Chain A
Amino acid sequence: MKAWKVLLIDDEEDFVMTLAERLQIRGLCPVAATDGETGLDLITNESFDAVIVDVVMPGLSGLEVLERIKNFKSQIPVIMLTGHGRSEDGPRGMQLGAFDYLIKPFDIDELIQKISEAATRRQPRNPHDTI
């Protein structure tokens, strides 16, 4: 397993911190943010192999965060976290360019598998990317 550097964005602090700790135990390098704005600041200043973002958050929603990422760092794969399998959020995220989506609660091995796939198949850098 490569030490992928991943950004986790979720407003549920207990969730995001615990998930980060579990990913770290498995050899990944997670960075946690509890809102979309902070997440976007981190993406602007640091390099990540993948971003995992919850859809429903106060302030910037996960879909808005995804849209902004696709506007300025389109090569970063984004995995959406949704609450419900039947909601339109996951497919909507895919339409907006998300790599994939997972339904909470999920198995951590499934998340790591998706991170690995996303980071490996990372899209080539878009010439319009600002950074």
Chain B
Amino acid sequence: MTQFKQTEIAFFGRITAGVTHELKNVLAIVNESSGLMQDLMALSKETPAYHDRFQKALTSIKGQVQRGHNLIAKLNQFAHAPDTTVRTVELFETVGLVVALSQRFAALKNVTLNIVSPLPSEQAVQATLNLVQFQMALFTAIECWLSMAAPGNELNIYLSKKENTCAILLACEGAFPAGNDLTSGLAATEKWPLLQDIATTLGGTLEIDAQKSGILLMVPAKHPMNVPAE
């Protein structure tokens, strides 16, 4: 990645991170204002008209504040990805963030995304890599897979690490185009060449696992210093 591209990504990250902070303040004001309305209703000596309806609406606002809070927290975390070019990350947490941010794209296709919890000893799998590129690779793999998926499919994401290689398998549960169809279908998706490029840049490999109806992305657990920059 060129220095200028890195700077561009960092710029988007900084702006996004700043705006998420403002949005947190917006949510905090909505939260306190709706809370005050609940307080005042509780203090009223007489039951106000539409009391139950107000309570229901205020409960809904509280739920949406929490939903917004969760989304913004993830967006903020994502926006900080370009802060450092190469860094050591917890793989499970990083994949979890990308999966969480991809849920809406999956929901639009009526597909469910799951991370299959690794064993406790594997939860602390660390990798030193270019975080933006890794997140982009994973998201692009999900996009490719979604473009082939049928409504009702489930995409299970498995993580493992052997020696210096992290393996991320995106495998299907449910009826899916099998065998050669999957191989040729995935390779024909619009984003597949991009995914191959990113995997190569990460010093990794990309395979289609026809048996498991999935995509296998393998990346070095340590940033490959020998991979030439663009």
Contacts and interface: CB of A to CB of B under 8 A. Distances in A.
23 contacts: A12-B25, A12-B29, A14-B33, A15-B25, A18-B33, A18-B36, A22-B39, A25-B39, A83-B24, A84-B20, A84-B21, A84-B24, A84-B73, A84-B77, A86-B77, A87-B76, A105-B24, A105-B27, A105-B32, A105-B65, A106-B28, A106-B31, A108-B35
Contacts of A22: 32, 35-36, 39
Interface string A1-38: 00000000000101100110110010000000000000
A48 B32 CA distance: 23
A104 B30 CA distance: 11
Classify chain B: how many residues form its interface, as a range: 20 to 34
A93 B80 CA distance: 20
Given A22-B39, A25-B43, A86 B65 contact: no
Given A84-B24, A104-B25, A104-B27, A19 B32 contact: yes
Contacts of A19: 32
Interface of B: 20-21, 24-25, 27-33, 35-36, 39, 43, 65, 69, 73, 76-77, 80
Given A18-B32, A25-B39, 7 more contacts: A12-B25, A14-B33, A15-B29, A84-B20, A104-B25, A104-B27, A105-B24
- Interface secondary structure of B, over-half rule: helix
Given A15-B32, A19-B32, A105-B32, A86 B25 contact: no
Interface string A69-112: 00000000000000111110000000000000000111010000
- Interface secondary structure of A, over-half rule: loop
Contacts of B20: 83-84
Interface of A: 12, 14-15, 18-19, 21-22, 25, 56, 83-87, 104-106, 108
Contact of B21 (A56, A85, A86, A108): A56
